[in-house]
């Protein structure tokens, strides 16, 4: 461990380093690599962060969760990224015993029954694998942005992640707009998920994601049968920002 990651230490490390995403990513690598990894679902935001991360060091770590229910287009994008950067993506799968039990007892679409049933599926396929992925890390990077949803409107760039042992959680693009993200993707010709060209704005598991209509909130196509306040899968339970 390079540092004991108290909130005061984290705050001192990050003071004056929260403005420019490239600087945030570089600072994160300098402080925490190899105990730092980017959680990638190959969203547009993740593509920006992978590009920034690989520019700092080619062996920076990227992990991804294969829920078993992803769209083929998401796998295509992941492969395109792997080839472009030569990055070894650390894939995590759900515990097969838990998926087998869920599907045998409740079928293949139990998540549509209720919020609790959906959270059960998300826990098995995402939250528990994430816990394993984060084990041993001091910090993780995410592509979250405030603009994405009401549940993310107060998102800090840096927070201590109480839900994951108090490690540091970093969202370099927290205050970026969707337009800024697209501008970066286009300027750098990043290979992106083709579902974005079909009206998708936020892409998760295939049966829980649909395209959105013009003017709808960016995450309106995720679990569209639920209220906006419930639209988190449990991966991003907000901790608290370090004191400044």
* Residues of this chain that bind ligand SF4 (CB under 6 A): 67, 69, 111, 118, 121-122, 125-126, 204-205, 207-208, 233
Report H helices in 150-191.
Answer: 178-187
In whole angstroms, the minimum distance from the beta carbon of 136 to ligand SF4 comes to: 24
Whichever of 44 and 127 has its CB closer to ligand SF4, that residue is: 127
Least separation in angstroms between CB 70 and ligand SF4? 8
In sequence order, the β-bridge partners of residue 167 are 161
Q: Which is nearer to ligand SF4, 107 or 136 (CB)?
A: 107
- Nearer to ligand SF4 by Cβ, of 27 and 125: the residue is 125
Shortest approach of ligand SF4 to residue 45 CB, angstroms? Answer: 18
d(CA 216, CA 28): 34
Least Cβ distance, residue 41 to ligand SF4 (angstroms)? 11
Closer CB to ligand SF4, 84 or 210, in the complex: 210
- For residues 152-172, b (16+ Cβ closer than 10 Å) or e, as one string? beebbbbbbbebbeebbbbbb
Query: Left (φ > 0), alpha (ψ -120 to 50) or beta: where does 242 sit?
Result: beta
The token duo for 2 is 């390079």
Residue 92's DSSP bridge partners are: 65
Considering the complex, what minimum distance in angstroms separates the CB of residue 3 from ligand SF4? 34
Structure tokens at 189: 């010709």
Contact 91, 64 (CB under 8 A): yes
Give the residue numbers annotated as catalytic, written as ranges.
233
The CB-nearest residue to ligand SF4 is 205
Q: Which is nearer to ligand SF4, 111 or 140 (CB)?
A: 111
> Which residues are within 8 A (CB) of 161 and not within 5 positions of it... i.e. 6 or more apart?
140, 167, 168, 169, 239
125 to 90, 148, 234: CA distances (angstroms) = 16, 22, 11
Token pair 């209509």: residue: 213
């Amino acid at each position: 461990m390079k540092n004991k990651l108290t909130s005061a230490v984290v705050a001192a490390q990050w003071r004056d380093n929260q403005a420019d995403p490239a600087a945030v990513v570089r600072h994160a690598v300098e402080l925490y690599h190899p105990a730092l990894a980017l959680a990638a679902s190959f969203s547009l935001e993740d593509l920006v962060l992978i590009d920034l991360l690989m520019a700092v060091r080619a062996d920076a770590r990227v992990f991804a969760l294969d829920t078993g229910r992803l769209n083929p287009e998401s796998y295509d994008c992941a492969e395109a990224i792997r080839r472009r950067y030569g990055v070894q993506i650390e894939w995590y799968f759900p515990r097969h015993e838990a998926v087998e039990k869920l599907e045998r007892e409740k079928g293949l679409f139990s998540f549509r029954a209720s919020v609790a049933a959906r959270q059960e599926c998300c826990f098995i396929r995402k939250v528990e694998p994430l816990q394993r992925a984060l084990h041993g890390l001091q910090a993780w990077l995410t592509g979250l942005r405030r603009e994405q949803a009401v549940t993310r409107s107060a998102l800090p760039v840096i927070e201590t992640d109480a839900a994951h042992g108090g490690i540091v959680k970093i969202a370099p693009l927290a205050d970026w707009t969707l337009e800024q993200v697209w501008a970066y993707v286009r300027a750098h010709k990043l290979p992106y998920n083709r579902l974005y060209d079909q009206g998708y704005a936020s892409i998760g598991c295939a049966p829980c994601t649909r395209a959105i209509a013009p003017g709808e909130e960016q995450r309106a196509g995720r679990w569209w049968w639920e209220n906006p306040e419930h639209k988190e899968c449990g991966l991003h339970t907000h901790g608290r920002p370090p004191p400044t």
